[in-house]
Structure formats: structure tokens, C-alpha cells
A and B are shown apart, each in its own frame.
Chain A
Amino acid sequence: MPDCNKNFESEIKEGKNLRNVKCKYCSSLILTPSTGTFTSFEFNLPLMKQSKVNDSNPDTENVSLFWAVNEMYTFQNVGFSNTVGDNKYLTCADCEAGPIGFHDIPSKKSYVALSRVQHV
């Protein structure tokens, strides 16, 4: 299981993120405490590093632990990619690392993958 963050349960308090959610690479602040709701479902998220450039079939992994954010302006700092199907992918607003999660256009909800960010 790729995103079996060892102690992810300790990051949850009353269903929300206990600590700040930051970029793993540059520590840019993405979410402040208690602004993401813990959600679990399966999603095929493209890998941050791809083996080939400009490939229409990106390498993906199955990710299942997310912070759900209902309104995009809840984010402190985040980037939204161009649209792919029903989604936009989320990136760090500073170093462009991503996808750190995705935005679902029909429901207007955004999901940050626990395994793609750090909690501090």
C-alpha cells in the first residue's frame, strides 16, 4: 500500500487535520489546522515524477487517504492545473510539485492526498 502513512490516525482530530499541511519539498503552507476533513476512497493519482515526458498515459498510483476541502478559498496556498476530464490537479503554489491531490469539478470539492504532503 503506497500511502499507508504509518501514523495517519494521529493526524486526525474530530475528523479534521490536527496540524498544518505543508509541501514536502519547500514547506509552503497549504492548509491550516481543522480546515480539511478526513476522507477515504480510492483514486488513481499520477505520480509526481514520471518516467516519460508528455505521455498521455501517466504513471499513477492508488491513493486512498485524503483531506477533503469544500471551498477552494479555504486553501492558504495552492495551484490548480488545467482541466483533465472532470478534474484539475493540485500543486504546491511555490515549487509546483504535484499532483498533491485533485479537484473534482462537478462537486467543486478538492482532495489533498495525505501521502503527498507533510504534517507539521
Chain B
Amino acid sequence: MAKTYDYLFKLLLIGDSGVGKTCVLFRFSEDAFNTTFISTIGIDFKIRTIDLDGKKIKLQIWDTAGQERFRTITTAYYRGAMGIMLVYDITNEKSFENIKNWIRNIEENASADVEKMLLGNKCELEEKRQVSKERGEQLAIEYGIKFIETSAKASIRVEEAFFTLARDIKAKMEKKLEASNPPKGGHQLRASEPQRKPPSWLSRCTLL
């Protein structure tokens, strides 16, 4: 069967335990399915399809399976990763300080050109905030990566974050492709059936 997408990106969520990585991966559900079989065994990864500038992109997004509780993530988890969401909790100073350690862990284990992005999650909890937005921005500038504050609970900018990361990976890949084979005119990777409709999570986003 012909390939039905243009790009496949493997993305990871990294950060301290409790910052909301699993909730960012799934839509925040207030214990709606808490007594199910699935929440007992846990999620390994998720496949998402998005449309970026007419290209169909498959995102394979991995959850850490709680490895982060031991403050290390193994090399195996990072294998093949093209993008990493570094997540901290804006109401938890320690989780922000630990971002530096996570970046070191990434540098030691992941491919050197992995695209990174910083997420300050739980941003709807303004009254409990311990980390100012400015500090988040400053840290991102220090590492030369993008920054966004999100709330998995209030569905604020979560989709935007994944789109931004995916767009940056795509731009980087296209640049590399161009460098390795200069355009001979009309050369393109094409999907068999491009789809113009926005994916469901996008349409829901616009309802909010």
C-alpha cells in the first residue's frame, strides 16, 4: 500500500514526575475513565495526524512510563527521537530548576540535532505560580529553544505547542534535504492522498 503521509516524527515528553506530561499527551480528563483497564496498564505512545502547510505529518508521541521518577531516562527511550518537549510545572520551582538536568540528560543520550521546546504547564493556576513567564522565556533563550506556557487542564496552547515543534522539525528536515540534493526542479515526496480537512483535535481547539 502506498504511504499515506509525507513525514513521520517521533516526539518525546520529558520532565519531572507530576508536571503533567501524560495529561499533555491526552486530553485532560477529570478521572472520567479512571477505573478502566487502560489507565491501569498505562500508555506507551500515541499516533497523531496533522496537516502542516499541505503536508500530512504523522506524530508518534511517547510517554515516559514513569522512568522520570528515577531522574534518568535511558538511551533506548531517546532512540530515533526527532523532537523533545521539555515540560515543567509553573507552580513547582523544583521542576523548573530540573530542566537544566533534563537538558544535560538529553545531550548525553539523544541525537545532537534533536529539536527541543520548553513547556511551562499548569499555566491556568496563576495564583499558585512559582515560576514567572519571564524566567521561562529567559531559560529558553539561553538554550536557543522555543518556549510556550500551556495548560492541559484548560486546553490552553497544547495543540499549538505540538504544531510549533512539528513545524520546526519539518523546516530542519527540508533544509537538510535541500542541502543533500539541490533542487532539480519538481522533486518532492508526495502522499498518495493528501487530506485538507483539519484533524479532529484541531477543530475542537477552535471551539474553545
Contacts and interface: CB of A to CB of B under 8 A. Distances in A.
A96 interface: yes
A84 B37 CA distance: 11
B26 A93 contact: yes
B189 interface: no
B112 interface: no
Given A77-B199, A77-B201, A82 B36 contact: no
In this complex, the interface size class of chain A, counting residues with CB under 8 Å from chain B, is 35 or more
A53 interface: yes
Contacts of A28: 200-201
B80 interface: no
Interface in B39-82: 39-49, 58, 60, 65
Nearest to B4: A74
Nearest to A60: B37
Interface string B22-43: 0000110100111111111111
B195 interface: yes
Given A76-B199, A77-B200, A79-B26, A89 B46 contact: no
A97 to B, nearest CB: 6
B8 interface: yes
B208 interface: no
A88 B26 contact: no
Contacts of B147: none
A73 B41 contact: no
A48 B37 contact: yes
Q: Is the interface of B mostly helix, strand, loop or mixed?
A: mixed
B179 interface: no
A88 B58 CA distance: 19
A82 B43 contact: yes
Contacts of B44: 80-83, 88
A79 B199 CA distance: 15
Interface string B68-110: 0000000000000000000000000000000000000000000
28 contacts: A26-B27, A46-B37, A48-B36, A49-B36, A50-B37, A53-B35, A54-B40, A58-B40, A75-B47, A77-B47, A77-B201, A78-B47, A79-B26, A79-B45, A80-B45, A80-B47, A81-B38, A81-B42, A82-B65, A83-B44, A84-B41, A88-B44, A91-B38, A93-B26, A93-B47, A95-B27, A95-B32, A96-B36
Given A82-B42, A93-B46, 19 more contacts: A22-B200, A48-B33, A53-B34, A53-B40, A72-B47, A73-B60, A76-B199, A77-B47, A77-B48, A79-B38, A79-B46, A82-B43, A89-B37, A89-B41, A94-B26, A94-B200, A94-B201, A95-B27, A95-B32
What are the 4 closest A-B residue pairs judged by CB atoms, nearest first?
A46-B37, A29-B200, A98-B38, A79-B46
